[in-house]
Structure 1
């Protein structure tokens, strides 16, 4: 490209390709890895880094005071994400690690393991193929800021840090009732999580360090160290209250771990809003355009402009407008392609509504290289659609729009001169809603990464949901993992 010309005319297909294959993020990840490890041969290092293909695998720390539920949450995360579970005790018992024997001897003789030895054990374990390919969740380490800084110096950088917290009385009560299965190392509780199997009940043992005095001492140490750990991971930690049902704690932890933080990589929004009539697509498009400088593109307005302008395409569209039948897909795509390929859309991004109406049109849009990178389905019950559209009217003198429920006219004079659009007649509205309802299931299957928003609420609340998913990368979904929401995100 000519560096002296501004702005650059970059074909839309380039941006689609770069985002699909995460080119910008890949370059950023490699640059970060180069600066952390400082290899002697950067080219060879980058080749090995790309071959690992693990930029999206979990790298999670689960921290918190004793009895906060770290082990339970960490194991559940591992099962859900198909990741490798790690803990200090597991590192000590792993005889395949070169330093495990030395660490175990130090613990037996001195009662503790030096931080450098802990870090060495972890570094060695993280180099194993299961941690590299599947990712890992580390339970209860590091415990101090010094240990965390030591891990950073070795290049061990978690992507997410889950920090559990709970009142001291709750933690003491939990710790006193803790029991461990010596065979499986599963943790149980005499009150909250007692095993059904009588054989398991008989072999449970009370772990060391769970007395009131020991628990109080460990809680004091934890309270001293947690602030330092939070300062070490200032931008990628989330504090979660553990004083609630375990399933709720896990749901919050999983949502956080599957999220991705904002990247400095270039991102050009191409937003598609789908929903039944009256779901607020035009309003949300205008709000997004106003705040983020996107180009609002209404497909219906584009068709009207072609007809009014008496263009060659407009003459092809006019018969469909007069008969009430949909415009042919080929003509529709030409109109839309001409608009989305213009300079403002190519440089600022766009927010589209009114197209596609079915999977065939969505496929045409994808083949044309005009695929959106954010798709939102605005869900609205049919009865609410009818209420919103069939009771609205316009003042022909002022042009002001009113609604008999949400925005009634101020006086009788205005009420008498209000006029309703024939398109808002109940039979027409119901027909449009039915047509959308017949296609929406197939469109939802087509756009697998779409997000679903409840449009039956305040429009600015809906906008906040759209905005949060626009400025933040979509949650990580990897093959083999399970989703609580059935694949797509619901808001």
Structure 2
């Protein structure tokens, strides 16, 4: 299958299933998965100029300024593996200033996937989550309960997996999302994230497959036109 480098952004509230969908997309389409948090940690670990600057802010307990993170994203997007395989930008940009900075660098997606899940379902997903401190595995009391009583007895709940905390996180997420959406209105596609994860991916897969075909067609038309011009 011919590789057509797609440029995809994906956004979703906490517990929308974004991580799972990123895995599915990466596995089928070979896109390079880029999450700003991972990028930040990698740059700090490598001791790069941007990493050193970011570390200074973090050591003071301050947020790393947008321009530093945007430059990290830019540098990652021009690497050869990304140029060849395309990119999947996960949960970034999160604010209108980050989106605007990317626009100024002419970094724009072919598609912005928004996982749409009602607050009621998101809260239920988060509040029912439990962690097995022994294996590190995440369970859900309703959707993926523990295999036996022994595991059930030792499960713990993360301190911020409460209804009150998740509702606060959702308020922040929606407030930021509204401003970001305005920039990507023409390339946004909403996918119902409340469905089972396989069904959610079926929908995303159909959208990405159509996009890839469209890009293939455009590229072959342009190369034919270029050939004619010569």
Q: Which of the five TM-score ranges fits, normalised by the shorter chain?
A: 0.7 to 0.9
Q: Is the 8 A contact 2:3 2:85 kept in 1?
A: no
Question: Which residue number in structure 1 is paired with residue 85 of structure 2?
Answer: 348
Q: Is the 8 A contact 2:110 2:187 kept in 1?
A: no
Residues 321/462 of structure 1: CA separation in 2 closer, same or farther (3 Å cut): farther
Residues 324/344 of structure 1: CA separation in 2 closer, same or farther (3 Å cut): same
Rounded to whole Å, the distance in 1 between the matches of 2:59 and 2:93 is 21
CA-atom RMSD in angstroms: 2.7
Residues 302/362 of structure 1: CA separation in 2 closer, same or farther (3 Å cut): same
Q: Which residues of 2 match residues 36-435 of structure 1 at below 5 A?
A: 267-308=4-45, 311-318=48-55, 326-435=63-172
Q: Is the 8 A contact 2:34 2:88 kept in 1?
A: yes
- SS of the residue aligned with 1:424? coil
Q: Is the 8 A contact 2:132 2:138 kept in 1?
A: yes
Give ranges in structure 1 of 5+ residues lacking alignment: 1-264, 477-491
Question: Which residue number in structure 2 is paired with residue 451 of structure 1?
Answer: 189
Rounded to whole Å, the distance in 2 between the matches of 1:272 and 1:295 is 11
TM-score by length of 2: 0.80
Residues 425/406 of structure 1: CA separation in 2 closer, same or farther (3 Å cut): same
Rounded to whole Å, the distance in 1 between the matches of 2:101 and 2:51 is 20
Offset at 1:314?
Answer: 3.7
Question: Which residue number in structure 2 is paired with residue 193 of structure 1?
Answer: none
1:472 aligns with one of 206, 210, 220: 210
- SS of the residue aligned with 1:472? helix
Rounded to whole Å, the distance in 1 between the matches of 2:54 and 2:167 is 24
Offset at 1:440?
Answer: 2.3
- SS of the residue aligned with 2:20? helix
Offset at 1:306?
Answer: 3.5
Q: Is the 8 A contact 2:32 2:85 kept in 1?
A: yes
Offset at 1:326?
Answer: 4.2
- SS of the residue aligned with 1:296? strand
Residues 440/408 of structure 1: CA separation in 2 closer, same or farther (3 Å cut): same
Aligned residues: 212
Offset at 1:446?
Answer: 1.4
Residues 385/332 of structure 1: CA separation in 2 closer, same or farther (3 Å cut): same
- SS of the residue aligned with 1:407? coil
Offset at 1:324?
Answer: 7.1
Give ranges in structure 2 of 5+ residues lacking alignment: 215-230
- SS of the residue aligned with 1:288? helix
Residues 452/325 of structure 1: CA separation in 2 closer, same or farther (3 Å cut): farther
Q: Which deviations, in whole Å up to 9, do the C-alpha atoms of 1:38-97 show, x marking residues without a partner?
A: xxxxxxxxxxxxxxxxxxxxxxxxxxxxxxxxxxxxxxxxxxxxxxxxxxxxxxxxxxxx
Rounded to whole Å, the distance in 2 between the matches of 1:404 and 1:319 is 41
Residues 404/309 of structure 1: CA separation in 2 closer, same or farther (3 Å cut): farther
Rounded to whole Å, the distance in 2 between the matches of 1:319 and 1:436 is 26
Q: Which deviations, in whole Å up to 9, do the C-alpha atoms of 1:103-149 show, x marking residues without a partner?
A: xxxxxxxxxxxxxxxxxxxxxxxxxxxxxxxxxxxxxxxxxxxxxxx
- SS of the residue aligned with 1:375? strand
Q: Is the 8 A contact 1:285 1:352 kept in 2?
A: no
Rounded to whole Å, the distance in 2 between the matches of 1:386 and 1:450 is 25
Rounded to whole Å, the distance in 2 between the matches of 1:362 and 1:446 is 7
1:461 aligns with one of 191, 195, 199: 199
Q: Is the 8 A contact 2:4 2:86 kept in 1?
A: no
